[in-house]
Structure 1
Amino acid sequence: MADSEQQAASSPEDDASKANPAFIIPKKEISMVPDMGKWKRSQAYADYMGFVLTLNEAVKGKKLTCEYKVSETVEKLLDLLGTLDRWINETPPVDQPSRFGNKAYRTWYAKLDQEAEALVSAVLPADKHAAAPEIAVYLKESVGNSTRIDYGTGHEAAFATFLCCLCKVEALTADDQLAIIFQIFNRYLLLMRKLQKTYRMEPAGSQGVWGLDDFQFLPFIWGSSQFVDHPTLEPRHFISERVVHEHHHDYMFLECIKFINEMKTGPFAEHSNQLWNISAVPTWSKVNQGLIRMYKAECLEKFPVIQHFKFGSLLSIQSTKP
């Protein structure tokens, strides 16, 4: 590599391979509402949506329990998530007057903040270690906010971004697509549910009854894709407790419904009105397309969510249009 290229790096880490650009620590670029145009034209937006839609296609019509390849990198990522889970057990909630936002979460988060780079390095191939400081930022962003002790779809997007970056440096490959959703993302959801329950995390920027869900969005998109062309289960069936009980092990969408039913009381139509409305859509294909449109409008095109997004070399603010 030419000396001039190495000098152009914005971080102390040298390039580990000629194929990769100089890695940089991601930072915020969207500070005002008019900046949203920059985001929608950015390479990051194109890459992120491309990643979400590629995985949406990969899981179409497939059960969580189907057979697929589990690579060494996938196993290392599962170990990483297992470590974060173990730290919850080691950091019990503290006694405090307020019911929500247990301050023990900050102790748990401080450990992740300290260890994230090492955890990511352990997942990456040796020749990609230079990418660890950049990719670790997205891992830290993906588990909630330690000041507000809240979690929402922006944090969820950071985890998808974390996985997208691992694909961009080729730590994960096209062969890993099913495992990315059915193993890694599913394990991440279990971790987040445990964090939410243990530390009583607040929903970040929740729209209450008008939102799809207090905490997640992507598993509803990918979960609805799993149901496309299902011979018997239609959208109207997911509000049946019997259907949820019998099929949640196979379908991510139903796992989400099961968690909502455990966490909320009262009629489903009242506490989860948007999901109730979705149950009236005639086909899963239409549900899936509608959820993708809704995700763009309600998450990716909302300034309160995107102002926190961070851009680096792997997910760039540079425009896709000349």
Structure 2
Amino acid sequence: MTSDTSASHQPVASTSYLPPRKYILSKAHLAAFQRSRTHKEVVNFIEELNDAVVGKKLTEAGEGSERTKPIMGILDTILDIAKSTPPVDNKLSRFGNPAFKDFYDKVGEASTRLHSRIGGLPAEAIPEIEVYFQESWGNKQRVDYGSGMEFNFLCWLLCLTKLGIFTKDDYEYLVLGLFWRYIEVMRYLQSTYWLEPAGSHGVWGLDDYHFLPFLWGAGQLKDHKHLRPKAIHDPEILDAFGKDYMYLSCISFINSIKTASLRWHSPMLDDISAVKTWAKVNEGMKKMYIAEVLGKLPVMQHALFGSILPFPTPEEDPILKAALEEEGTGEVGQVDEHGHIHVKGEPGWTMDCCGIPVPSAFAAAQDGASPPIGSVAFTARSGIKPIPFD
């Protein structure tokens, strides 16, 4: 298959595929990732996809190309699997539904067969890229979901791009078609299985679960002649334009499951609405994603690296090699029962990384429990610095 992918997305040699695994065990590893070619590729991919949807509407996504249609079929199959795996009676708990574990296993069982539908995908590459795919739907043990799982879906798309499955002509549809379908499937999973927000305060993002639809959603609106960020407070505008723009659709979704005002349950989104232009919101979102998702150890310690998205070796990164030699193994700390690495000497690390389980907003909404959704104020997370949007 021919591909017009850029030099940063060149296909990987078929003899080099490796099952991806975790590499980021410490601050030194995180810093090495931030210096790496893979980090640059991820950021470039996000920006290229963002540029592809400026001024584009969800309703104008079209049917996609012959390259993207199998991927849409795969996402539809995931939804079918979820619909055939109903939640169990779990009325006594507002936390994650155990049926999600059955759904997760079914996805794993179907994964190789689903990937075999993708034309031009080398069979020997499937064991590597399907790991990102399987990890995109949530965590089986914790029955939760956060920006780290969303990041895995991004990595899956990037791997397929690097393997030559997509061309730049597909970038608009990757966001408005495939990624948005992924969000729709995830909303079904979140509401059906009451997935808990990952981490003690939800994802290191903007709502309980997601970040990228706000980033690319702001990109869609970047050059809009009439709509302004403050429009998110106007119900009529949300109703009229939510079907066209991801950002507005996400705001409507939040409003549909949370009571009280946006200021109370989503103060960061409320603050951003005061920015004068969507262009500034879009740029701020990019900076924030790099800082608060790609730059946070609690998220990136779960990132996976193989041959397509490699992690730098100490030999390739002398700074990493020197840091590891100087700090030894003491910096790594212990892995808990949830798979989290707790670094010694990190103030507030345990609370920010794991904390206490957070019940699903969907569970609270259906339960009608007191206090209502949105009545618990946002709690500042240590180590997060506000990103200037204006």
Give me the TM-score of the superposition, normalised by structure 1: 0.90
For the Cα contact (< 8 Å) 2:61–2:172, is it kept in 1?
no
Q: How far is the alpha carbon of 1:113 from its aligned partner? A: 1.5
Which whole-Å deviations, capped at 9, do the CAs of 1:80-132 have from their partners, x for residues lacking one? Answer: 01111011111111012312200000000001112212212212415x22211
Work out the CA distance in 1 between the residues paired with 2:203 and 2:79: 29
Match of 2:198 among 195, 204, 219: 204
Preserved contact between residue 58 and residue 178 of structure 1 (Cα < 8 Å): yes
87, 94, 98: which one aligns with 1:103: 98
- The total of aligned residue pairs comes to 305
C-alpha displacement of 1:43: 2.0
Deviation string 1:241-283 (CA, Å, 9 cap, x unpaired) is 1111000111011111111111111111101100000100011
Check the 8 A contact 1:209/1:270 in 2, yes or no. Answer: no
Aligned mate of 1:115, from 110, 115, 121: 110
Tell me which moved more, 30-39 or 151-160: 30-39
Alpha-carbon distance between aligned partners in 2 of 1:45 and 1:95, rounded to the nearest angstrom: 43
Aligned to 1:88: 82
How far, CA to CA, are the matches of 2:28 and 2:203 in structure 1?
Answer: 28
The equivalent of 2:56 in structure 1 is: 62
Is the partner of 1:123 in helix, strand or coil? coil
Per-residue Cα deviation, 1:166-197 (whole angstroms, up to 9, x for no partner): 00001111110111001100000000000000
Range that drifts further, 190-199 or 262-271: 262-271
Relative to structure 1, the CA distance from residue 201 to residue 69 in structure 2 (aligned partners, 3 Å threshold; closer, same or farther) is closer
Cα RMSD after superposing both structures: 1.9
Aligned to 2:311: 317
Specify the alignment match of 1:142 in structure 2. 136
- Distance, in Å, in 2 between the alignment partners of 1:169 and 1:109 is 26
> Structure 1 pair 190/175, CA: closer, same or farther in 2 (3 Å)?
same
| Equivalent AA in structure 2 for residue 52 of structure 1 | I
Q: Could you tell me how far apart the structure 2 residues matched to 1:124 and 1:210 are?
A: 35
2: CA distance between counterparts of 1:18 and 1:242? 49
In structure 2, give the amino acid aligned to 1:279.
S
**Which structure shows the higher helix fraction?**
1
Native 8 Å contact 2:58 2:245 kept in 1:
yes
* Contact 2:272–2:281 (Cα < 8 Å) also in 1: yes
Mapping of residues 155-166 of structure 1, within 5 Å:
155-166=149-160
Amino acid at match of 2:101: R
The answer to which of 247-256 and 62-71 deviates more is: 62-71
Distance across 2 between alignment mates of 1:142 and 1:20: 24
Partner residue of 1:290 out of 279, 284, 288: 284
Question: Secondary structure of the equivalent of 1:73?
Answer: coil
> Would the aligned equivalents of 1:28 and 1:311 in 2 still touch at CA under 8 Å?
yes
Partner residue, 1:249: 243
Structure 1 CA distance, aligned partners of 2:57 and 2:207?
A: 22
Amino acid at match of 2:234: S
Structure 1 residue 175 and structure 2 residue 169: aligned? yes
The whole-number CA distance in structure 1 between the counterparts of 2:243 and 2:143 is 30
Q: Is the 8 A contact 1:220 1:253 kept in 2?
A: yes
8 A Cα contact 2:203 2:209, kept in partner: no
TM-score, scaled relative to structure 2? 0.75
Rounded to whole Å, the distance in 1 between the matches of 2:283 and 2:23 is 29
Instruction: Please give the alpha-carbon distance, in whole angstroms, between the structure 1 residues aligned to 2:274 and 2:116.
Output: 46
User: Alpha carbons of 1:265 and 1:291: their partners in 2 closer, same or farther (altered >3 Å)?
Assistant: same
CA distance in 2, matches of 1:44, 1:281: 32
Which residue is 1:300 aligned to? 294
The alignment-based identity, stated in percent, is 43
Range with greater deviation from structure 2 (198-207 or 140-149): 198-207
Residue equivalent to 1:50: 44
Q: Which amino acid aligns with 2:309?
A: L
**Once the 2 structures are TM-superposed, how far is the Cα of residue 69 of structure 1 from its aligned partner?**
6.8
Shift of 1:207: 3.3
* Preserved CA contact (<8 Å) 1:299 1:305: yes
State the AA in 2 paired with 1:172: F
Output the CA distance in 2 between the equivalents of 1:79 and 1:209. 28
- 1:193 corresponds to: 187
Instruction: Give distance in 1, aligned partners of 2:200 and 2:239.
Output: 27
Mark the runs of 5 or more structure 1 residues left unpaired by the alignment: 1-16
Equivalent residue, structure 2, for 1:37: 31
1:229 Cα deviation from its structure 2 partner: 1.6
Instruction: Please tell me whether the aligned partners of residues 12 and 308 of structure 2 are also in contact (alpha carbons under 8 angstroms).
Output: no
Distance 1:316 1:185, change over 3 A: same
C-alpha distance in 1 between matches for 2:227 and 2:101: 42
2: distance between equivalents of 1:78 and 1:67? Answer: 12
Cα distance change on mapping 1:48 and 1:281 into 2, 3 Å: same
